[in-house]
Structure 1
Amino acid sequence: MASGDDDDPIIEEIDVYLAKSLADKLYLFQYPVRPSNMTYDDVNHLSARIKPKQQKVELEMAMDTMSPNYCRSKGEQIALNVDGTTYEETNTYSVKMMDKQTFTSIQATTNTSRYAAAVFRKGELHVTPLTGILQMRPSFTYLDKADTKTREREAANEAGGDSSQDEAEEDVKAITVRFARPESEQARQRRIQSYEFLQKKQAEEPWAHLHYHGVKDGHSEHERQYLFCQSVDASENSELVKTPKEYLAMLMPPLAEEKVLKPVGPSNVLSMAQLRTLPLGEQVKTLMKNVKVMPFANLMGLLASGTDSTAALRCIQQVALLVQGNWVVKSDVLYPKNTCSPHSGVPAEVLCRGRDFVMWRFTLERSVMRKEIASLIKLPPEDVKEFLEHVAIPRVNRGWEFLLPTDVEFVKKHTDIAHRQHMLWLGIQSKLEKVFNFSKEDFMPKNSPQPDPVHVSGEQRLKMAQDRAQGNKSSLQKDLDTRRLDSSVHVKQEPVSDREDEPMDTSSSAINGSVNGYPSATSPTFDHTNGNAGSPPNAPSVELKDFVKKTFRKHFVLTLNEFKRLFGLHIASMPVGHSIYPSISDHMLQDAILLCQCKQIMVPFPAQTTAAADEQKVFGLWETGEEFDKQRRLLYDLFNKNYRIRRTMVQAKLTQELGESSKADVDRLLAECCISHAGMWYLKGTVPS
């Protein structure tokens, strides 16, 4: 013996016996809502029943209605609510009073392999394994019965007034017959795991009725004898021959059991740690199959750090196509060969053609209409909606808009890939034209760009302006000379001209007063080409008003600086010599904006702002004739008080003024007029740099 064992001597040895007589029938009952010193041993048990497979037990116990702690009026009221005033054999309480209560069990644990009941007698310990550990709690099903009775009475009262009419008239009702679709394996698994299915399965097991015997009953005393091992003969109960290590392993099994107890995730869920153990191609395919549409930068963020972008680009081109600079998973990846639609049973080949058409349409425009697509590809509405939900989001009065903004940076950086993808789409388009019998011109966007204007270099523009100025100067000089002759001689004389057939210059530069070929700031501006000669000085032309309306219908909120930039681009895109706009000042632009159903939003910028003066002048579309104008004006009112707001402020304002507002309204409002930065919302163009 080791010297350390002398300080811890063995006091007594106890023989341990395993009793098996009650091994499959022994349950431990716990009463967690009852103090341990208040047992139910002396309470009259009226009935007991069990469902062995579910280990579900119900005990019905009598209540002492004569106890001073029992409220008689409350007991009578409960009985009246449950059973009503009539007496029936099925009544829960036969004495018109709540005189019993039911206890229903729930399993405290599903694994009882480590639990046993032990009794000690004459230096021997007898152990019996437990079949189950059940917690008995009061059942309140009688309240459900009372609610059912109340609803039945209310329904009877409501139907009482129309009963005579119902009996007199027998209407023929049309019956709609629906044929159930074949249940897929995925749908069957969901149904089996549903709460309703489990409840139904549990209800199918019949109750087994039991006889309850009290603690002091002779039958109970007889059964307790089975807790002792019935045979203690050494020949039948051999000593433990296990080594200490084996015995310890029996007492504390390895972690295999814990692995079984770990929650098992769905088969289609893959953690990022598991994902990164796959080859790069499988990682990209798995991500695209689950996300459906993704910018390339986001894909690189999901892959392991250090992943080569060239290799990732090579992989993504195998499983996705480029749409508006973003990658969209290919149709044959989502719908493999020899599969069918879970909604309608349409074959995968037909689904792929329909989805390719939807993606091709998004290469042409930002938004599409579902009805238009469904009428052409002729697929069930459920499938068409699924195609759109993969890559788009519904917008009020605008159809389905592509989910992500155009990734211009990716297209600029990878022009070769963008060109290759464009050629792929041309091939897909030619196949779709044959299948669906259409041409690309049938689906050109309504706001498709016109043919590119003729581009003229800056030097050419300068030379043309100088020539025009010189011509205008000569024309003015001739006109002055003619007027002098007329005033002195009083004889009308035609101005001298080198060319007899020179046409009259009716351009705005010739008609208005000008200096060096440009309109004078002091001369009134008249647009003779549009019949606006009677307009007041500096009045905006019809063309300028049209441009303002179209621009604000598209952008809703613009700073003066941004509007000037858009106006400059519009002027530059017009062919040389066809400009219908005279010289326009900032003041004239502001007047034109305010005359076109727009108003200036007085945003209170902070004192330390670095925004230019033109950036601090913010204009918003005020009236379009739509119901949504009210929401837009309320948003402007918020920005009249603060230059930045939170989403909750918008929601609260709309709710306060217009009642309950949907999330879609708030999303649309913020998307049209605002931009998010650092958790706050700003009007477009007012985000601090």
Structure 2
Amino acid sequence: MASGDDDDPIIEEIDVYLAKSLAEKLYLLQYPVRPSTMTYDDVSLLAAKIKPKQQRVELQVAMDTKSPNYCSSKGEQIALNVDGTGYEENNTYSVKMMDNQIFSSIQATTNTSRYAAAVFRKGELHMTPLTGILQMRPSFAYLDKADNKTREREAANEAGDSSQDEGEDEAKAISVRFARPESEQARQRRIQSYEFLQKKQAEEPWIHLQYHGVHDGRSEHERQYLFCQHVDASDNSELVKTPTEYLTMLMPPLAEEKVVKPIGPSNVLSMAQLRTLPLGEQIRTLMKNVKVIQFASLMGLLASGTDATAVLRCIQQVALLVQGNWVVKSDVLYPKNTCSPHSGVPADVLCRGRDFVMWRFTLERSLMRKEVAAVIKLPPEDVKDFLEQVAVPRVNRGWEFLLPSDPDFVKKHADVAHRQHMLWLGIQSKLEKVFNFSKDDFVPKKAPQSASAEPVHISGEQRLKLAHERAQEKQASLQKDLEAKRAGGVRVKQEPLSDGEAEPMDTSSPPASRSGVHNGSLNGYAGAERANGGSPANAPSPQLLDFVTKTFGKNPVLTLNELKRLFSLHLAAMPAGHIPFGPVSDHMLQDAVLLSRCRQIMVPFPALTAASADEQKVFGLWETGEDIDKHRHLLYEMFTKTYGVKRSAVQARLGEELGDVAKADVDRLLKECCSSHAGMWYLKGTIQS
């Protein structure tokens, strides 16, 4: 005996028997929607039936309508929708209440040759091969029946209305058509279609079964068949295979299937083979494989010296322009007389659905799959296939177009872009008729800016510098007014707002809470302050600076919209007749923020965010004299590069720059500056809960 066997001695030898009495009749039923502790052993089972060839089982289980967890009104409503008000023999619910539930099976696996049920008794292991493994899930066929009832009622009402309007029946011409002989290719498509498979499944009749409970005498009798009935000692044989041969029997090697490569340019070809084709076929082959490409990249794949004009002429025959990029046409991917490999949907229906997806991408960068599916009403597999061809999924942003916009191509080839725009208008008109929608239904909440109108971002340091310059200019103007007054003439005027400044915020309160105070008195107060040598007309007052400083002391991160709201609440809480502020514009409020040791954080909001312009202006407290200032600076820097961050990323960034940072400090930083949503952290006010 080898030395290794001494460490692992044989404790017991068990005889294994193969029981064949139930070999063709034994099914394993699983209930994945309920935990193992909630069995159906004590539930009353009303009926059972099976389709052996398809291995489909249906069980009708009684529901406890007396349970406190059962909603009687809802059960009665469902029964009314399904069966109506009449009493018929074929009613789904005989007591006018949903008192039973159907469980329908699906196959967990199609190959059960490696699975068996085993029982152990008196040192013997008896195994019976499984015929099928089925997962029982609740069936909602009663909802389909309720929908059919609704359609029947609507059809009956329409028929009644039309019969009243019509007079005598008129003779109508009948056209007779003769079907063409079915080709072999068409027959194969029909056999593989979803409709044909459903029809074949419906042809097999149900076999009704009699159910016996776990503790029933018949069940005990049937369980005896799990044991081998005839044990013949002469049939017992020892295993004479070597360990290697035994393992090969248990796990045979997978046979490699020979894949025959298709002949023709539709398959991925080498560049040498591709360039032997005519230019039009080259472009068609490339577009069928890449689906979406920029024009510059397409020219790079073609032979050097290829005429760009000829390429443009050919590309327009097989592709459409979307955001300056070329996307292959739907009829190139789905030719006539073909169908979806996923669902069997005809090619013309697929083309309409895919054209809708491409048209939506001409309007916006990202789409939500649910919105698309709700309009085109195609199977989820086909909708996902459309999106995967031209887009990539983004967290919390749906599906984003695969390539960035190419405004350079649109500028350089304005005639081609205009022609493509007219084509899209025609496609849009057809889609509106087919899917019954209006373009206004899909106008983005925030229209994309043109390529020439680049957004201008002003940093906190620039705004601070502009605020100082504006204050100095106003101070110089005020000094001239005071000198004129000393010379003998009273020259006090209110400076008009320049074109670049926003209208002042209305800081006056409603008459009910501010008796005797109105805009005229506020303007007079501001004019008197300027005349007496106070602050410049548009410079933040000390009271406003004090309010901003205290506010950011409590809330280190605020959007402009939230700051304006807090400012309005502050005004409403002040005593009547005591308002130390003149007209306060948005610019004045922002200048006060930047003069209060705060800075603006340029957060890269998503393209289709619903946040307003004021909500996208985010300010953060910069200096307080505490050690946590350095933590905030690094956090703000992270949010200038991304819209949301994970806690682990913040911890890693702080540890990289500042060494070991305590967990309590990270928690305090995130709690003061951020809010959490779906496992991500966002600056306060930048995400709507």
Query: What range is the shorter-chain TM-score in?
Result: 0.3 to 0.5
Query: TM-score of the superposition, structure 2-length normalised?
Result: 0.42
Q: Which has the larger radius of gyration?
A: 1
Query: TM-score of the superposition, structure 1-length normalised?
Result: 0.42
